[in-house]
Amino acid sequence: MKAIAIVPHTKTIQLIDRDEPKITTATQVKVKVRQVGICGTDREEVSGGRADAPPGEKMLIIGHEVLGVVVQVGEAVKSLKPQDLVVIMVRRPCSECEMCKKGCSDMCETGNYTERGIKQRHGFHQEFVIDEEKYMILVPPALAGTAVLTEPTTVVEKAIDHACRLQVARLPVDPDPKKWLHGKTVLVAGLGPIGLLAAMVLRLRGANVIGMDIVDPHTLRPKILEAMGGKYVVGKEGALRGHTFDLILEAAGIPKLDFQLPQFLATNGVYVLTGVTAEGPPLSVDAAKLMRDLVLKNQIIFGSVNAGVAHFKQAVLDLEAAEKNWRGVVQQLITSKTPFNRFADALEKRKPDEIKAIIEWS
């Protein structure tokens, strides 16, 4: 079968032939890959950035945002059957720390986790994959057009969930974290796939969402945001003057912006960062004001990465709800589909108007 593989820390990428995998345990599931989404991590890997091959191997099959169809199940598999649509989790536990032992590998304490398509475990850019049933999430047929967006949606599901849990733990509010956002004013900074999916989840929770980016207001990203009931502002000097936000979700990965945004955080507000920033020159920051506001205004700033099984399941539910509320809108995030044998067109190049590019395998 065919697969897309890289030699980590080089710019070598190629379509390779490898043996089709076989089920070896009773709890495994074999999946035929349909679509794999492309994100910044994939392009970083292709350009020679962070990536690690499995132990003893020189190449890594990339890809971690997958939608596939079940073709075979082990004899002990209970929740899945052939023809079911599934998405597959990315991270696998270190089996050393308490977080991983308790099923929270997204909060791994040792850093010895593995990740499919990223760190020491082959990914999903191949015709067939096999994994354990416990890492697969069933997808309803109605989501066939958008389910490839599940994995990036899990990133914001976790960030938003943890932000809300922090708030209900310390404020005299309804103890249901999902209810905290209703009526709150939220800023989403950066309207790439993560930012737009964050806006989707926030709007489903009843938040008043302002999305900020630097693109023309008449282009697709602002139009998607507005179709979901959000408001768009162009990120220029003074654009947020006079505004304060109960929650700020950063999805831009721009260090200078990251340190500018706390000034717009309301008293008792929470600010969560999801963008992974590239290395760059040091910044000059008014640290005294930042620290003073955090203390005197009871504010929280935290980072969030990856996601657990509950966030994968919630992502499927929210994509389904979004399709019912705003039919066809979320699907507009997918701006290109490229056959796997033309992978270079998508992985090595980024179109100026791209939101989410995917590679099609079947």
Domain with residue 68: its CATH number is 3.90.180.10
313, part of any domain = no
145, part of any domain = no
Q: d(Cα 111, Cα 100) in Å, to the nearest integer?
A: 10
Judge if 34 and 169 occupy the same domain.
Answer: no
Boundary (domain end) residue, out of 303, 318, 344: 303
Asked whether the whole model's pTM tops 0.85, one would answer: yes
For the stretch 296-337, pLDDT in tens is 999 999 999 999 999 999 999 999 999 999 999 999 999 999
Q: Which helix (H) or strand (E) holds 156?
A: helix 150-170
Q: d(Cα 248, Cα 258) in Å, to the nearest integer?
A: 10
28, part of any domain = yes
Judge if 113 and 199 occupy the same domain.
Answer: no
Residues of the chain with pLDDT under 70: none
315, part of any domain = no
Judge if 275 and 204 occupy the same domain.
Answer: yes
44, part of any domain = yes
Residue 282: the pLDDT is 86
Judge if 99 and 226 occupy the same domain.
Answer: no
Judge if 133 and 240 occupy the same domain.
Answer: no
Residue 3: the pLDDT is 98
Question: Nearest Cα to 249, choosing from 164, 320, 356?
Answer: 164
Q: What is the SS3 string spanning 196-247? A: HHHHHHHHHCCCEEEEEECCCCCCHHHHHHHHCCCEEEECCCCCCCCCCEEE
Domain that holds residue 135: 2-139+329-360
How many domains are there within the chain? Answer: 2
134, part of any domain = yes
CB 113 within 8 A of CB 92: yes
Domain with residue 274: its CATH number is 3.40.50.720
Within 10 angstroms of residue 281's Cβ, the number of other Cβ atoms is 5
Judge if 102 and 127 occupy the same domain.
Answer: yes
351, part of any domain = yes
Judge if 208 and 297 occupy the same domain.
Answer: yes
Judge if 161 and 286 occupy the same domain.
Answer: yes
203, part of any domain = yes
For the stretch 154-203, pLDDT in tens is 999 999 999 999 999 999 999 999 999 999 999 999 999 999 999 999 99
Judge if 265 and 342 occupy the same domain.
Answer: no
Q: d(Cα 344, Cα 321) in Å, to the nearest integer?
A: 34
Residue 278: the pLDDT is 74
Question: Nearest Cα to 28, choosing from 70, 84, 77?
Answer: 77
Judge if 135 and 157 occupy the same domain.
Answer: no
Judge if 158 and 294 occupy the same domain.
Answer: yes
